[in-house]
Chain A
Amino acid sequence: MKNITWFFLLLFSFLSTCVLAQPRVVRGVVKDISGPVAGASISEKGISTNGVVANDAGEFTINVRGTSNRLVVTAASHAPVEINLANFNLRERINISLQISNTTMDEVVVVGFGKKKRITNTGAVSSVTGAEIRTVPTSSVQNALQGKVPGFFATQRSGQPGRDASDFYIRGVSSLNDAGNRPLIVVDDIEYTYEQLSQINVNEIESISVLKDASTTAIYGIKGANGVLVVTTRRGTSGRPRFNLRTEVGMQAPVRTPNFLDSYGTAVLVNEAYRNDGLQPQFTDRDLELFKNGTDPYGHPNVDWYDAIMKPFSLQANTNLDISGGSQAIKYFISAGAFTQNGSVRNFSTNAEGVNSNYFYRRYNLRSNLDIQATRNLSLRLDMTTRFGDINEPFSSNVVGSIYDFSRIHPYSAPFLNPNGSYAYAFDTKNQMPTINAMLQTSGYRRQRRTDFNVLFGFTEKLDDITRGLSLQGRVAYAGVEQNTLNLFRGGYPPSYRYNPTGDTYALNTGVSTGGYTLTEYRTVGNTDTRDQRVNMQIYLNYDRTFGVHHFNSLLLWNQQGYRVDFSSGFPPKSGAAPQKSQGYSLKLGYDYKQKYLLDINGAYNGSDRFQAANRFGFFPAVGIGWNISQENFFKNNISIFKLVKLRASYGLVGSDVAPGDQYLYNQVYVQGEGYSFGQTNQGGGAVYEGSLGNSNVTWEKAKKLDIGLDLNSANDRLAITADYFHEKRYDQLVVRQDIPLMLGIGISPSNVAVVVNHGWDGQISYRDKVGQVQYTLGIVLSYAKNKVLYQAEAQPRYPWLAKTGQPINQPFGYNFIGFYSESDVNDAKVAKPSSAIPTQAGDLKYQDVNGDGIIDQNDITRIGHPNLPTTNIGVPLKLSYKNLDLNILFQGAFGYSLGLVGNAIEPFKSQFQPLHEQRWTPATAATAQFPRLTSNPTTVNSPGAYFSDFWLINAHYIRLKTVDIGYQIPQRMLPFKINNGRLYLSAYNLLTWSNISKKYQQDPEVSSNSAGDAYLNQRVINLGLQIGF
């Protein structure tokens, strides 16, 4: 890490030979409320050909040639400004501040295969610029979008370095086919995977658009149904080389750390549970006394394994350098980045062996985007990017899970180390594993090394000599991934001993996990190599021309994509995913009349070889219309309060070709059967057996999407409102029919049967103003989506409340908690009891007997709570700037979801004992109990695994101070050398969290429901950064 930084600094000293200062040179910087405005255009009034573009630091230099002595400054999303140079001292750098404008005629948004003026756009598109999320200290782009984009639903399930990318959906989910809800991701018009997206360096990103409705996604046709995330990368602008260096260092700490009971507290509860179960208590009063006073640390250990294994803070660091510039002929943007994120496990590795078994993530990004003007009409582009890095994790796998797991280790199982320094082991558990620290120190690592290489070659030929406004573009892109997983581990467990303090003796662990007296050597087995490649070709004709009041904008595209993946290990070689090829044509026809009446017709005819020839290609049309009421004279003349009122609507059909499974579903698959011997001869192996039945009719899923939107600006553009209502019907969904009798005798492939409707609304409001020298922007970003399954080929259940049809996707089902059984309930035959053979006891969870048959069984399971995916997402961004200081914060909240955890997370004797368990039911605390009576039996009604219920399921919500960015723009006079832009900033991620799940679970509110909640803890990051430009 350090080396990389030095390398960059050296690089600067070679390159920073800038050419400056001509006569009549004007230098300046363009800023707005949130800092420099990169990409602002500065042109001399009267000589429109004399123009430059501000760099990332907002800085520009222009030779003033004419006589107007005025500059015109324009920038996307900002109101244009005219500067009279007479008002400035030109020997110094002039400061130009722009006002953010919520709408201008010129503002453009990136949509599929091009850009569109916001004013003439009829679809539902939201976008953020790369600059807005650049300082969020997280490795994955999608984590930084949460709460920023209406219609974007993200949940971060894990904080593991390199694997902390959020799951995200656009406008919620609408398919029962799990993978079929993932949005399409296109980066510079080339399809990326989730993993590839999370690896992109934010520094390379120019903008991110989220395409939500049929009008904007129809050109993707068979891949557009889940919405599209469109990312464009930064490109060079002509001018001298401009350097931009950003370096950051951050501290990570878990958002929420678990708090477990100590040995004494645990032993008391264990004894109580054993008594409840009619068993002999495990500990004597003397044991308890020794646990309490700690005088026998080896005979009666008391170890807080969380504190012993995990450190309170871990480091992350990020350095990026980019250089851009160019001439009329060649423009370049070159960027390099190094990101490193350490794990939160203490360092147990010994340096002598050089085996780093901790979690960590290292990533290096390089990108070169070149634009070459080959001839007057022909321009070429060559983009190359590579990302490589390692994700490391302990070979003994899930550390947080091990700490949570009561059957793995107890606080009194073993000392951290024996007095002679040898490893101890959990002698009182079933597997008698050595302690967690012993395993971490000796067992090696699993390291995933991944290299991505992407090349994009493109050309644009202007065909103005055929007809003005026509151009031909083409692209060939290659994306390759080489991934290797290296397992470095020892054959057995390390030697471990049980120390007996009374005799000062050591007994070797002879349990099932014995490792003998010595460590075995490291070895590597089971490594896998994966290679995949994606080749994409596109050719398209663009036509954009204005005839007076008529403006046409159209596109005709042919594209093809091929994808294959190989696993080298194993025979027969397994496919990580079925290879696939897709192909097709897309068409976009746009027309507007005076930017007042808008019409967009989009469509695609494309297909995928995941389906059989007859069902391969589909036609996906969509239409969008818009009306800028504010452009009408009657409106302009009468209602001045609104600067912009636009109504828009779109309707269309889009598809999703994501078919579950790693096979072509139309193919009948065959599997290998087991062997059988006749005589002494085994005659089985190799025989082919019928596998799941193929479905020759399988085809893409379809979605009919309606979107109605309103854009409204008021209060002199200070207030801007965008709102969209949407309704989507997703049908022909690929699910496995549940209503086929077993008499068929074989599994079946999914069929296109399920139907789901999804509807909701999203939008944002922003208001900006200025109070004295303080400029501020306040906003609200809202997203709401709710779905309902209309049909899913479910077998007719015995009772209506058991039906999953009619409920949202992934609706949880369970029992209804109605209190605890009392002594009298237990003896009352009229009170319904579980059908389990374990007798019900007072203090057990009492559930509602829904069908009234006096027995609590599967027939009493009903819909409880909500699915785990929030229905409502709220973001509240706030920006403030005062002189050189700026503050940028985002509150983010999620509502309308449920979270319930099982096993290691909460259940006694599976989880470590937690403070909640001390509030268990006892005869004395029956009135105030928060938890059922303790039992060591995992099959009773008190187990969330055996009887999931709304006692365990919380209707959850949370609010987070998601990101904070406080910056100080260092005045130029204070900057040394030729640095002309410096910003010092403090940023944070997941800084504060308020959630109602903490009343039951010691967990982050984003962990996935129905899990043990023992994924790597989500992290809070506090980050200090410096950005300099020269």
Chain B
Amino acid sequence: MRTNSLVLGIIAFVGVVSLASCAKTYEPIPLGQQITLDLTFDPNDSLGRNAIRYLATLYQQALPDGHNRVGGNYLDAASDDAISSASGIPAVQQIATGAYTASQTNGDNVWGNYYAAIRNTNNFIVYINRVPLKELLPNGASAKAAYRSEARFLRARLYFELVKRYGGVPLIGNAIPQITDNVQLPRNTFAECIDYIVSECNDIRDSLRTQAMVGNADYGRVTRSAAMALKARTLLYAASPLFNGGNISTSPLTGYTSSDVNRWKLAADAAKDIINLGSYSLMPSFTSVFVTQEAPVGANTENIFWRQDGFNRNVENNNAPVGYVAAGGRGITSPTQNLVDAFPMSNGKPITDPTSGYDLSNPYNNRDPRLKATIFYNGSLWLNRQVETFDGGLDKPGGTIQQTKTGYYMRKFMGPFETVTTNPPAYYDVVHDWVYFRYAEVLLNYAEALNEFAGPDSEVNNVLVALRKRAGIVAGADNLYGLKASVSQEEMRQAIRSERRIELAFEEHRYWDIRRWKIADVVYNSAPLMGINIQKSTSGQIFYNRVPVLTTSFRNPQMYLYPIPYAEVNKNPNMQQNPMW
């Protein structure tokens, strides 16, 4: 009996040991989680297939689409150029009326998302070195270096976007912090951030593709000129009044602590470098700039860098007048009378000029052709009929549906749908890439910087002439396109700012320009934004009345910079909040 028990015990013991030493019957990593970084940055893949995909996904993450970006609206609907047609209190209206705090941040608070994107650019920048990528550029240089530089460009652009919102921000470098690493980083100064962005742009320039090297398959990648354009814009912002002398505090975090006119020189030179490339020129037609693809795919000679969005009808569906039921259109963007008034007459003279020929009872007649290309007003031709924004008109029917609040709709970026052949009239897909840098802006940057540094010389004037000429403004007998013959630096400054406003409307420039020029206090606080109320009598007579549409507000000077998100300051004793937040 005793032996039986022992035998049994031994059998049981052996059984236990053999069971316990069985191989696992399941994967140590759950199904669906078995992909690793090694798969993406494969040390054995000379094609770098997944690494290049990773970079593609980075573009997706690091380049937001500016069309209807902020809670469904253009950022410009938070400036004095437009308001949102949406009911309730859309994010852009909260910004325009100053309804945000550090803990309830505004709809354009990009802090978390951009730092997430920066981390991912670092992942690529660091790990791409493990991939034995063999691909070469047309000039024989390594494509790996170009891809790495693309990621560095994306990162530099992210920093620029952070700096213009928050002032100096913590620079991460190439670090990829892990869970145990200390990320309670202090902010770098404004000057350090600008230097970093500029040095990155300088560093990567030569390893990037030139415009000429871009083939069909690479179309849309970061080019040398994109890096140069980022540098030019960065230096322009750094030289601008808000940062260069107009610092809202004495802290080096919020701007330079003293002014230096040479910063304008740097900005002008950086813009001039791009002009000197000779690769870009203004498109003959203003409207086609936004719906034409760049070489080698299309004939666009003006766009320098853009986010690829491809062919769709999103812009039309979101922003077109609401009366075209079959085609669709939600009319979310309501441009203001303020913007309409900024457009000169077709002779180039501002409407305030008594000799301009402006007719209050026929206010859209003989205007700068860019008005028609930028804004739908009552009587614009669209989809084979006239836009009706008079009270009770097809595009301003009243009632509860979303419709214009100002009497205008946004036209820019849309395809040429003035007349179409389909019945009922409908939209078709057109290119709606979001253009970050285009040649017209480079020219304006150049003009502005040069005027500030050297005063209004002929080179400055030539820029305005070129833009006005392209826009279709009549040259006039003096061949000055409505510009004055000799102007002071201040007059030229105003001319450039006005030109910039109308040329670059809705391209996320005005909102930042009024800040960097340090005029936001005046722009937001002086008077309500205006719209037009149009009454059509039974006899067809039309009456125009300017009406206030939104009272904006700007807390001066704290709102020149966004608050660092409140939680970030809480979590990080080294994080210094912006003044007065």
Chain A residues within 8 Å of B, Cβ to Cβ: 377-378, 461, 463, 465-466, 472, 474, 537, 539, 558, 560, 562, 564, 566, 572-575, 578-579, 581, 583, 609, 662-664, 667-670, 673-681, 683-690, 693-695, 697, 738-746, 748-749, 751, 795-798, 835, 837, 857-859, 939
- The 8 A CB mask of B15-48 against A (1 = contact, 0 = none) is 1100110001111111111011101100000000
- The 8 A CB mask of B99-125 against A (1 = contact, 0 = none) is 101011000000110011111100100
Is there contact, CB below 8 Å, between B57 and A676? yes
Bound complex: CA A564 to CA B25 (Å): 9
**CB-CB < 8 A to A675: which residues of B?**
56-57, 60
Is there contact, CB below 8 Å, between A683 and B56? yes
Bound complex: CA A797 to CA B566 (Å): 9
Is there contact, CB below 8 Å, between A573 and B31? yes
The chain A residue with its CB closest to the CB of B57 is A673
**Max chain B Cβ within 10 angstroms of own Cβ: one of A578, A680, A744, A751:** A744
Assuming the contacts A558-B16, A688-B50, asked whether A693 and B178 have C-beta atoms less than 8 A apart, the reply is yes
Bound complex: CA A837 to CA B97 (Å): 10
Is there contact, CB below 8 Å, between B57 and A679? no
Is there contact, CB below 8 Å, between A579 and B30? yes
User: CB of B456 within 8 A of chain A?
Assistant: no
Question: Which residues of chain B from 204 to 256 have any CB-CB distance to chain A below 8 Å in the complex?
Answer: 215-221
User: CB of B477 within 8 A of chain A?
Assistant: no
**CB-CB < 8 A to A564: which residues of B?**
25-26
**CB-CB < 8 A to B88: which residues of A?**
939
Is there contact, CB below 8 Å, between A679 and B218? yes
Question: Which residues of chain B from 168 to 190 have any CB-CB distance to chain A below 8 Å in the complex?
Answer: 170, 172, 177-180, 183-185
Is there contact, CB below 8 Å, between A662 and B30? yes
Q: B12, B32, B36: which contacts A573 (Cβ < 8 A)?
A: B32
Is there contact, CB below 8 Å, between B119 and A746? yes
Q: A573, A579, A673: which contacts B60 (Cβ < 8 A)?
A: A673
**CB-CB < 8 A to A583: which residues of B?**
20
Interface-located stretch among B2-10, B355-363, B496-504:
B2-10
Those 10 A-B pairs whose CB atoms lie nearest each other, nearest first: A745-B119, A673-B57, A687-B53, A683-B56, A679-B219, A742-B112, A795-B570, A572-B32, A575-B30, A676-B60
Is there contact, CB below 8 Å, between A743 and B170? yes
Is there contact, CB below 8 Å, between B116 and A796? no
Bound complex: CA A673 to CA B61 (Å): 9
* Beyond known contacts A560-B20, A574-B31: 19 more, CB 8 A cutoff: A377-B1, A466-B6, A539-B12, A663-B33, A670-B35, A673-B53, A678-B220, A679-B216, A683-B53, A687-B40, A688-B40, A689-B54, A693-B178, A742-B567, A744-B177, A795-B570, A797-B570, A798-B566, A858-B103
Is there contact, CB below 8 Å, between B310 and A537? no
**CB-CB < 8 A to B24: which residues of A?**
581
**Max chain A Cβ within 10 angstroms of own Cβ: one of B50, B99, B103:** B103
Bound complex: CA A377 to CA B2 (Å): 11
**CB-CB < 8 A to A676: which residues of B?**
56-57, 59-60, 308
Question: Which residues of chain B from 449 to 478 have any CB-CB distance to chain A below 8 Å in the complex?
Answer: none
Is there contact, CB below 8 Å, between A579 and B27? yes
What is the distance, in angstroms, from A834's C-beta to the closest C-beta of chain B?
Answer: 12
What is the distance, in angstroms, from A701's C-beta to the closest C-beta of chain B?
Answer: 18
**CB-CB < 8 A to B39: which residues of A?**
670, 688
The chain B residue with its CB closest to the CB of A583 is B20
**CB-CB < 8 A to B1: which residues of A?**
377, 465
**CB-CB < 8 A to B6: which residues of A?**
466
What is the distance, in angstroms, from B508's C-beta to the closest C-beta of chain A?
Answer: 20
A-B contact pairs, 29 of them (CB 8 A): A378-B8, A461-B8, A465-B5, A466-B5, A472-B5, A474-B15, A574-B31, A575-B33, A579-B30, A583-B20, A663-B33, A664-B28, A670-B36, A674-B57, A676-B57, A678-B217, A678-B308, A679-B218, A693-B178, A741-B185, A741-B572, A742-B568, A743-B172, A743-B572, A748-B179, A751-B179, A837-B89, A837-B94, A837-B99
What is the distance, in angstroms, from A252's C-beta to the closest C-beta of chain B?
Answer: 40
**CB-CB < 8 A to A578: which residues of B?**
30
Q: B5, B33, B50, B53: which contacts A377 (Cβ < 8 A)?
A: B5
Q: A677, A739, A798: which contacts B571 (Cβ < 8 A)?
A: A739
B interface, how many residues as a size bin?
A: 35 or more
The chain A residue with its CB closest to the CB of B8 is A461
**CB-CB < 8 A to B565: which residues of A?**
742
Assuming the contacts A694-B179, A740-B571, asked whether A678 and B120 have C-beta atoms less than 8 A apart, the reply is no
User: CB of B575 within 8 A of chain A?
Assistant: yes
Bound complex: CA A572 to CA B50 (Å): 18
Bound complex: CA A748 to CA B58 (Å): 20
**CB-CB < 8 A to B20: which residues of A?**
558, 560, 583
**CB-CB < 8 A to B28: which residues of A?**
609, 664
Is there contact, CB below 8 Å, between A688 and B37? yes
**CB-CB < 8 A to B568: which residues of A?**
741-743
Is there contact, CB below 8 Å, between B16 and A537? yes
What is the distance, in angstroms, from A190's C-beta to the closest C-beta of chain B?
Answer: 16
Q: B16, B27, B31, B180: which contacts A539 (Cβ < 8 A)?
A: B16
Q: B89, B111, B179, B571: which contacts A795 (Cβ < 8 A)?
A: B571
Is there contact, CB below 8 Å, between A678 and B56? yes
Is there contact, CB below 8 Å, between A687 and B57? yes
Q: A472, A685, A741, A835: which contacts B183 (Cβ < 8 A)?
A: A741
The chain B residue with its CB closest to the CB of A378 is B8
Is there contact, CB below 8 Å, between A745 and B115? yes
Bound complex: CA A740 to CA B5 (Å): 60
Bound complex: CA A687 to CA B59 (Å): 12
What is the distance, in angstroms, from B396's C-beta to the closest C-beta of chain A?
Answer: 19
**CB-CB < 8 A to A688: which residues of B?**
35-37, 39-40, 50, 54
Q: B25, B32, B97, B112: which contacts A574 (Cβ < 8 A)?
A: B32
What is the distance, in angstroms, from A248's C-beta to the closest C-beta of chain B?
Answer: 42
The chain B residue with its CB closest to the CB of A537 is B19
Assuming the contacts A679-B219, A742-B565, A743-B185, asked whether A673 and B54 have C-beta atoms less than 8 A apart, the reply is yes
Is there contact, CB below 8 Å, between B40 and A798? no
Q: B52, B118, B219, B566: which contacts A745 (Cβ < 8 A)?
A: B118
Bound complex: CA A689 to CA B575 (Å): 29
Is there contact, CB below 8 Å, between A463 and B5? yes
Bound complex: CA A377 to CA B1 (Å): 9
**CB-CB < 8 A to A663: which residues of B?**
30, 33
Is there contact, CB below 8 Å, between A674 and B19? no
**Max chain B Cβ within 10 angstroms of own Cβ: one of A573, A681, A741:** A741
Is there contact, CB below 8 Å, between B57 and A741? no
**CB-CB < 8 A to B2: which residues of A?**
465-466
Is there contact, CB below 8 Å, between A677 and B217? no
Assuming the contacts A679-B297, A743-B183, asked whether A575 and B57 have C-beta atoms less than 8 A apart, the reply is no
Bound complex: CA A680 to CA B215 (Å): 12
What is the distance, in angstroms, from A371's C-beta to the closest C-beta of chain B?
Answer: 18
What is the distance, in angstroms, from A994's C-beta to the closest C-beta of chain B?
Answer: 42
Bound complex: CA A130 to CA B552 (Å): 72
Bound complex: CA A687 to CA B35 (Å): 10
Is there contact, CB below 8 Å, between A678 and B219? yes
Assuming the contacts A670-B40, A695-B179, asked whether A579 and B26 have C-beta atoms less than 8 A apart, the reply is yes
The chain B residue with its CB closest to the CB of A533 is B25
The chain A residue with its CB closest to the CB of B573 is A796
**CB-CB < 8 A to A681: which residues of B?**
217
What is the distance, in angstroms, from B58's C-beta to the closest C-beta of chain A?
Answer: 8
Is there contact, CB below 8 Å, between B567 and A686? no
The chain B residue with its CB closest to the CB of A674 is B60
**CB-CB < 8 A to B567: which residues of A?**
742, 795
Bound complex: CA A857 to CA B103 (Å): 10
Bound complex: CA A694 to CA B26 (Å): 21
Bound complex: CA A690 to CA B13 (Å): 45
Bound complex: CA A677 to CA B183 (Å): 34
**CB-CB < 8 A to B116: which residues of A?**
742, 745-746
Question: Which residues of chain B from 545 to 572 have any CB-CB distance to chain A below 8 Å in the complex?
Answer: 565-568, 570-572
Bound complex: CA A558 to CA B12 (Å): 12
What is the distance, in angstroms, from A805's C-beta to the closest C-beta of chain B?
Answer: 13
Bound complex: CA A962 to CA B289 (Å): 75
Is there contact, CB below 8 Å, between A744 and B119? yes
